[in-house]
């Protein structure tokens, strides 16, 4: 049986991340073939989707924000929660973080994080422990890229973040279970993404912080059943045909926004071989 690191080297290419070209990651071009290959070569069925082989919109926006605002992490201890490829943690190290713990429950992701960190000349400590069970008071900054696509995990993550200490930033394009009513938008980007994964080539994606308790609505803790798919804003992205990222201010986003009916993400466990799509 092939080991994870060898598999990653054989089935990915070292590519610049579109919104964060100063970082290169081992990335796949298409989702389903690498997922099938993983199961074939490891001789196991029912493996989680290869999230680690892509730079998700939320992670790209958050990495860009961290690199452009290095003071947020410089000299600090950072948790990159749901690290995937390691993109956000690598950005934090490049921005001067004292240390980064990259957490992901997928063993492939842990191998990818180590390989990608080395490719970018940095080192991240990794853990495969599910940290969402206990609030963390030992990180000065917690970064979360694209983890609000599944209802139960989203609720657990929100509870974890609201009870943790430190600066908390979330990168998310408005996935179905993003608790927008508990968050404040701090920056927005038009992120180039793969049409194979999303339903477009540009995804409007924001960096959010947890709103102060007094501004949250509702004020009671959110449980999973309350996190119903939201009606996301689909922006009128005038820049959609342009390459690269465009920052927009909040007023402009909302002026140009159109409402569309929500559609939920495809169930991660679907045996249809459809990759998890985050279309909304
Ligand atoms: C959509 S990917 C985002 C990866 C990366 N942050 C990015 O934006 O490119 C979501 C990641 O969350 C991980 N994940 C899911 N539940 C988790 C949990 N409870 N703790 C840590 N990671 C988790 C998955 O394994 C996957 O790698």
Residue 47 lies in a domain: yes
Q: How far is CA 73 from CA 63, 117, 197, 275, in A?
A: 11, 17, 30, 33
Point out the least confidently predicted range of 32-41, 147-156, 184-193, 244-253: 244-253
Beta-bridge partners for 67? none
Residue 106 lies in a domain: yes
Q: Does the CB atom of residue 147 touch ligand 1 within 6 A?
A: yes
Residue 144 lies in a domain: yes
Question: Is residue 26 pLDDT above 70, yes or no?
Answer: yes
Provide the pLDDT for residue 262.
31
Domain span at 230: 4-259
Q: What percent of the chain has pLDDT over 90?
A: 62
Provide the pLDDT for residue 225.
53
How confident is residue 254, by pLDDT bands cut at 50, 70 and 90?
very low
Domain CATH for 75:
3.40.50.150
Average pLDDT over residues 60-89: 98
Q: Does the CB atom of residue 145 touch ligand 1 within 6 A?
A: yes
* Pocket-testing residue among 27, 104, 135, ligand 1, by greatest number of atoms within 8 A of Cβ: 104
Residue 274 lies in a domain: no
Residue 196 structure tokens: 């194979």
**What's the domain count of the chain?**
1
Residue 196 lies in a domain: yes
Distance in Å, CA 271 to ligand 1 centroid: 20
Question: Is residue 236 pLDDT above 60, yes or no?
Answer: no
How confident is residue 38, by pLDDT bands cut at 50, 70 and 90?
confident
**Mean confidence (pLDDT) of the chain:** 81
Residue 272 lies in a domain: no
Provide the pLDDT for residue 246.
33
* Pocket-testing residue among 20, 31, 82, 143, ligand 1, by greatest number of atoms within 8 A of Cβ: 82
Taking the C-alpha atoms of residue 93 and residue 82, their distance in angstroms, rounded to an integer, is 16
149-169 confidence digits (pLDDT tens):
999 999 999 999 999 989 999
Question: Is residue 146 pLDDT above 90, yes or no?
Answer: yes
Residue 264 lies in a domain: no
Provide the pLDDT for residue 251.
26
Residue 162 exposed, middle or buried by CB count within 10 Å (0-12, 13-18, 19+):
middle
166-208 confidence digits (pLDDT tens):
999 999 999 999 999 999 999 999 999 998 889 899 999 999 9
How confident is residue 231, by pLDDT bands cut at 50, 70 and 90?
very low
Write the DSSP assignment of 69-116 as a string of letters: -GGGTBTSEEEEET-TTSHHHHHHHHTTBSEEEEE-S-HHHHHHHHHH
Please, what is the Cα angle at 55 between 53 and 57, to 5 degrees?
140
Helices 4-11 & 107-119 angle (0-180, nearest 10): 60
Q: Does the CB atom of residue 87 touch ligand 1 within 6 A?
A: yes
Model pTM score: 0.81
Residue 241 structure tokens: 């045909």
**Preceding omega of 101 cis (within 30 degrees of 0):** no
Distance in Å, CA 164 to ligand 1 centroid: 18
């Amino acid at each position: 049986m092939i080991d994870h690191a060898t598999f990653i080297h054989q089935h990915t290419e070292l590519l610049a991340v579109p919104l964060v070209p100063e970082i290169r990651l081992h990335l796949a071009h298409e989702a389903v073939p690498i997922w099938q290959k993983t199961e074939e070569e490891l001789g196991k069925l029912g493996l989680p989707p290869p999230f680690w082989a892509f730079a998700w919109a939320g992670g790209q926006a958050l990495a860009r924000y961290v690199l452009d605002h290095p003071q947020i992490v410089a000299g600090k201890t950072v948790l990159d929660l749901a690290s995937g490829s390691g993109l956000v943690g690598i950005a934090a190290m490049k921005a001067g973080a004292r240390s980064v713990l990259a957490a992901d429950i997928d063993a492939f992701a842990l191998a990818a994080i180590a390989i990608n960190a080395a490719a970018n000349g940095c080192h991240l400590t990794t853990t495969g422990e599910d940290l969402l069970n206990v609030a963390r008071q030992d990180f000065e900054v917690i970064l979360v890229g694209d983890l609000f696509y599944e209802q139960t995990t989203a609720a657990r993550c929100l509870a974890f973040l609201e009870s943790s200490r430190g600066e908390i930033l979330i990168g998310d394009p408005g996935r179905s279970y993003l608790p927008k009513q508990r968050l404040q938008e701090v920056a927005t980007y038009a992120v180039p993404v793969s049409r194979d994964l999303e339903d477009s080539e540009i995804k409007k994606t924001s960096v959010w912080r947890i709103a102060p308790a007094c501004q949250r609505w509702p004020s009671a803790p959110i449980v999973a059943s309350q996190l119903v798919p939201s009606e996301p804003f689909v922006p009128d992205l005038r820049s959609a045909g342009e390459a690269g990222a465009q920052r927009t201010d909040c007023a402009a986003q909302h002026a140009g926004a159109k409402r569309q009916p929500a559609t939920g993400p495809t169930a991660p466990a679907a045996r249809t071989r459809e990759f998890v799509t985050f279309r909304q």
